[in-house]
Structure 1
């Protein structure tokens, strides 16, 4: 009930607006190869953006590492305590990630992943490590005033998090050009997506405001909704994922955000499900959410039309998931 009250208050607080999304400059970068045909091993590293500033931002980065797996990546299904969203968020571990191993050859698109209230990036590893294995660098900030470790928790600070997301994007663009950094030359800095769960979904929506950089090509809003000013500026496809019986962020909030979004969009519904149990490996809907989000990222960030065309079939399991689309150019 505590988290339900927190998020209910958050929904009220956020209608007033959010911090501006500061665009990054759009520099040209060398082309990168098509979507990888096989999964990678996964590495992980940590750093802090602006460690001496007023809002230091610890970041966990999962990334493709060599060697590429010959078949499906190894999946660890050991469950652990979530601590996130009062046990209504994701649990378990994802593909095994090795600290600070070399990045795989090539450039990879980047996904900025935002956690929810009282959560942490590591609690979303079942999803983020699998995206990394599929050929994406996933950079997940620990927000200073809404995370599980926040010393001064303030739910209304979510309105400032879209600007944090853009601060991270600018940092990654600089890092890609920094000689000697392990990620230098490996980031497709013209191809970013934003994704997040619950309050992180609202953060994601808030990054798509008027004047946002065209670097941000796609969004995934999981169990979240829109902030004031969201879904403006350059058109970018957005995928919404929402439990039909979500007691914390009602399904109607996600559907209203879907209706407000512009351009290609899809709404992956999970009838009868709550706030995030479908993000746990082995639970109903997890396979469909993983497949649909991976297809969506491969389409929007790798221009993989085959992934786009198979998304509807991958997303839907009768009795478990439903899919509504708008202007999704499947089969064209």
Structure 2
């Protein structure tokens, strides 16, 4: 392992708390002790603006990366495309006109980026470029080593650098389409740990916001650092893999503007994977959060509570 030796102490907890991130039940995670709310800090740094009002068609492509020569990281990219909105993402479709914020997404243990296409393509249709690496050990087909989650924040930062470089790469279909000044990170379960790590031990100062689905801070800590970056946590209160209390404890430790979308009947993540009422609430709420944090759209922030309450499927603890 390339991480500090103290991380090895978390091995058993990571194995218990993250097993089954993409599927069946596993032992519940444990609450992180000793956390308390932190004082508020200045508002996010993205200037006021307006998100696109139209919905885009969605294109999809793949970028093959390899960090340090021994960490293959194929990245699936969903992006706003030309053409009529709606329908399934079209491979290598021409990109829509405009400059779009970038969202890095991290999958759960044993997962693949395409498992989350229903959610991620909705983000792309709303005007975001979404890049999702498949991790070498925790992705489907890997050896399933949960400790490798501790290496994944660096993977995401590397992939972000390479994705943003497409904006100036001659001949690339995304040339001139990426806004490197407006970037967020998001992830589910083991990918939620990865995302938390990008704001704590592996802080990437390019990130303006984060979304954590069913995440815990085991191995990456709660030492949130750097400029204020609003955070949205999404967690099922009936989560059978990472306990709701564990996710709530990390949320309580966030010192920046934050909100937590809680689904009283939600489990570890089926709301992210299946097209149902819960996914619509999660998708609408996360889209408005991204519109506010990456486009500076104040109207989107005002819509957040209404979207979160639709259908009485979730509650929103709003400190944004």
TM-score (norm 1): 0.79
1:49 to 47, 52, 65: 65
Q: Does 1:126 align with 2:107?
A: no
Q: Distance in 1 between matches of 2:241 and 2:27?
A: 10
Q: Which moved more, 1:257-266 or 1:166-175?
A: 166-175
Q: Does 1:109 align with 2:125?
A: no
Q: Does 1:238 align with 2:231?
A: yes
Deviation at 1:231, TM superposition (A): 2.1
Q: Distance in 2 between matches of 1:243 and 1:212?
A: 26
RMSD over aligned CA atoms reads: 2.5
Deviation at 1:170, TM superposition (A): 1.1
Deviation at 1:34, TM superposition (A): 3.8
Alignment CA distance shift 1:115-1:296 (3 Å): same
Q: Distance in 1 between matches of 2:207 and 2:95?
A: 23
Which blocks of at least 5 consecutive residues in structure 1 are unaligned?
Answer: 16-30, 75-95
Deviation at 1:48, TM superposition (A): 1.1
Which blocks of at least 5 consecutive residues in structure 2 are unaligned?
Answer: 1-14, 21-25, 34-46
Q: Does 1:263 align with 2:256?
A: yes
2:292 to 286, 299, 311: 299
The match for 2:185 is 194
TM-score (norm 2): 0.82
Is the 1:277–1:283 Cα contact (8 Å) retained in structure 2?
Answer: no
Q: Distance in 2 between matches of 1:248 and 1:210?
A: 23
Aligned residue for 2:310, secondary structure, equals: coil
Is the 1:217–1:300 Cα contact (8 Å) retained in structure 2?
Answer: yes
Q: Distance in 2 between matches of 1:124 and 1:102?
A: 22
The match for 1:66 is 82
Q: Which moved more, 1:215-224 or 1:280-289?
A: 280-289
Q: Relative contact order, CA 8 A, sep 6+: which one is greater? A: 2
Is the 1:281–1:287 Cα contact (8 Å) retained in structure 2?
Answer: no
Q: Distance in 2 between matches of 1:250 and 1:318?
A: 24
1:140 to 120, 127, 132: 132
1:223 to 208, 214, 225: 214
Q: Distance in 1 between matches of 2:120 and 2:156?
A: 16
Alignment CA distance shift 1:3-1:147 (3 Å): farther
Q: Distance in 2 between matches of 1:224 and 1:255?
A: 9
Alignment CA distance shift 1:153-1:283 (3 Å): same
The match for 1:185 is 176
Deviation at 1:229, TM superposition (A): 4.8
Is the 1:194–1:219 Cα contact (8 Å) retained in structure 2?
Answer: yes
Is the 1:146–1:153 Cα contact (8 Å) retained in structure 2?
Answer: yes
Aligned residue for 2:82, secondary structure, equals: strand
Deviation at 1:140, TM superposition (A): 0.3
Q: Deviation digits for residues 264-318 of structure 1, max 9, x if unmatched?
A: 0000000022111222444342221111000000000011111111001111136
Q: Which moved more, 1:246-255 or 1:223-232?
A: 223-232
The size of the alignment, in residue pairs, is 284
Q: Distance in 1 between matches of 2:146 and 2:113?
A: 17
Q: Distance in 2 between matches of 1:246 and 1:130?
A: 24
The match for 2:39 is none
Q: Distance in 1 between matches of 2:51 and 2:303?
A: 15
Is the 1:62–1:137 Cα contact (8 Å) retained in structure 2?
Answer: yes
